[in-house]
Structure 1
Amino acid sequence: MSIILMLLPALAWGILPLAVSKINGKPINQIFGTAVGTLIVSIVVLLIMRPSISIGTFLLAALAGGFWIIGQLGQYNAYREIGVSQTMPISTGLQLIGTSLIGVFLFGEWVSTNAKIFGFLGIILLIIGVFLTAKKDQKSSSTNNQTRTLVMLILTTIGFLVYNSIPKAMTSSGLAIFFPESVGMVIAVLLYIIFTRQPKILKEKSSWQSLLAGFIFSIASVTYILSVRDNGVNSAFVVSQLSVVISTIGGMVFLRETKSRHELQLTIFGLVLIVIGAVVTTLF
């Protein structure tokens, strides 16, 4: 059972971008459905598991959920602009780099000299991997469009970094923060809808079809929490990063995203470096 729990997050997070891209609609429809779908599942989990949630935990977790929306909205926009098979390696690599650096400078991780050496070696591998997966042949894509999308991904990744960092500063974690995080997600989405004056998306079919994305995300999140409990943080985290391989290959196979032979070679090599970088920064 522990092995299944270890593999399910990678599978679900890998499938999520593919499912979202298959749903017609704009990123705002997709992010709304994802947030509401996650809230529905979190309510069920809350009623079954009944975790203890303090007011402080609730507020911090809700804030983390709000920042997650920023990061995920950036991803959803990038799917449309440059495709899943290019977005996911770049976004995952940026998150791993940022999370590792935050862990070192804010939470005092990598205490030993060996940990620092291997940790920064892992970051170098991640940077190279991101660069390789981002590289495009000049003739195959608009350079300006790609540059704008990459800048947007870098900026919105800050949302993911805050989302990943807040739980580290909390005494409660796991299933106790799943419900308040989902509440924060829904509040953030509704505020975004209000400020961008797009209330009509609440009635659009694609918004409610995107509930599926929320269910898939919830499966990944809940099984990851359970995997951490049964397998430990390092093992659960490293295996979960295989999701980037699933989503990248899935983008090319199921979404028919095309790459030149040279781009495909760079992407595969970049993926290998990202996975190795994730292992090195986590285990050493």
Structure 2
Amino acid sequence: MNILIALLPALGWGLMPLVTGKVGGSPTNQIFGIGAGTTIIGLIVFAITRPAVDGKAFLFALVCGALWTIGQIGQFISFKRIGVANTYPLSTVFQLVGNSILGVLIFGDWKGTQSKVIGFIALLIVISGALLTSVSDQKDGKITLKDSLFLLVTTVGYWIYSSFPNIPIIKAQSGTSIFLPEMLGILVGAVIFGLFTDRKSFTQKEQYLNIFAGLIWGIAALSYIYSAQANGNTSAFIWTQLSVVIATFGGIAVLHEHKSHREMMYTIAGIVLIVLGSIATSFA
């Protein structure tokens, strides 16, 4: 049962970009769908568990959820530009490297020389994997520096979201107590983005069909809370890395993103390195 719970976050987070890709619509449609769907899950969880939450923690979680949308919007735009199969591995690497560096510099992770050596070697393995997945035989299929920098800059939203559980006021709360404000924050961020970029999106059917992807993401996020409790943070994190496998090969098989035989071989090798490197960082 614990393994099933551990697999749900990877499955949900890996399937989400495939569902939004099939539904279609603009990044504005897609991020609203995620925000609305996750909020529905958050309200259901709140109604069932009735958790107590500090007012300041609630507001802090709300803001962090809104900032998370920066990272997800960056992903959605990149899906359009370079495809899911190219975006997801690169985004995974940016998240892992950034979170690891912030953990070392700010939160005191990887204490001791041995841990730091293991950690940074693992990051080099992950980066090598990302370089392999970006290999392209077509001039118009290459991931440009502009594409990479855009994804890197927007990943800041993910870094903030991933770091906030280390803040003392959040540590004092249970995972379920801050779940609803996080999800509400995602919806708030999505609505603000829509109001400033494309107000017509609120009348488009894709805006609401993408809620199905949001429900999947929300269930995955909730499952991760219970996976961490049942399996421990390290094991829960390791299992989530399978999402990059699902999203990458799903983009090729389900969304029909073309890769030549040579590109596919490099992609497989790169994904293996990303997963292995991600696992290694958890032991640093």
Same fold (TM over 0.5): yes
Are the equivalent residues in 2 in contact too, given 1:82–1:146 (CA < 8 A)?
A: no
Inter-partner Cα distance in structure 2 for 1:270 and 1:160: 22
Shift of 1:232: 0.1
Shift of 1:173: 4.4
Which residue in 2 is equivalent to 1:95?
95
Give the counterpart letter for 2:135 in structure 1. Answer: K
Inter-partner Cα distance in structure 1 for 2:139 and 2:252: 15
Which residue in 2 is equivalent to 1:141?
140
In the TM superposition, 1:194-233 aligns within 5 A as 194-196=195-197, 198-233=198-233
Alignment coverage as a number of residue pairs:
281
Matched position secondary structure for 1:175: coil
Are the equivalent residues in 2 in contact too, given 1:94–1:130 (CA < 8 A)?
A: no
Shift of 1:240: 0.7
Shift of 1:175: 1.4
TM-score normalised by L of structure 2: 0.95
Are the equivalent residues in 1 in contact too, given 2:33–2:209 (CA < 8 A)?
A: yes
C-alpha RMSD over aligned residues: 1.3
- Cα deviation digits, residues 20-61 of structure 1 (max 9, x gap): 100121110010111011111100100101111111111111
Stretches of 4+ aligned residues off by more than 4 angstroms: none
Which residue in 2 is equivalent to 1:160?
158
Inter-partner Cα distance in structure 2 for 1:201 and 1:220: 26
Inter-partner Cα distance in structure 2 for 1:4 and 1:162: 28
Shift of 1:149: 2.0
Higher mean displacement: 240-249 or 128-137: 128-137
Which residue in 2 is equivalent to 1:189?
190
Which residue in 1 is equivalent to 2:279?
279
Inter-partner Cα distance in structure 2 for 1:271 and 1:142: 19
Matched position secondary structure for 1:174: coil
Which residue in 2 is equivalent to 1:59?
59
In the TM superposition, 1:15-54 aligns within 5 A as 15-54=15-54
Shift of 1:283: 1.8
Are the equivalent residues in 1 in contact too, given 2:82–2:141 (CA < 8 A)?
A: no
Shift of 1:260: 1.7
- Cα deviation digits, residues 199-235 of structure 1 (max 9, x gap): 2211110000000011000111011110000000000
Inter-partner Cα distance in structure 1 for 2:216 and 2:254: 17
Inter-partner Cα distance in structure 2 for 1:142 and 1:22: 21
Are the equivalent residues in 2 in contact too, given 1:75–1:91 (CA < 8 A)?
A: yes
In the TM superposition, 1:235-250 aligns within 5 A as 235-250=235-250
Inter-partner Cα distance in structure 2 for 1:119 and 1:24: 38
TM-score normalised by L of structure 1: 0.95
Are the equivalent residues in 1 in contact too, given 2:23–2:210 (CA < 8 A)?
A: yes
Shift of 1:142: 5.0
Inter-partner Cα distance in structure 2 for 1:10 and 1:187: 25
Inter-partner Cα distance in structure 1 for 2:252 and 2:266: 14
Inter-partner Cα distance in structure 1 for 2:11 and 2:164: 25
Shift of 1:135: 2.6
- Cα deviation digits, residues 102-146 of structure 1 (max 9, x gap): 111110011122211101111111111112212322x34255x73
Which residue in 2 is equivalent to 1:129?
129
Which residue in 2 is equivalent to 1:265?
265
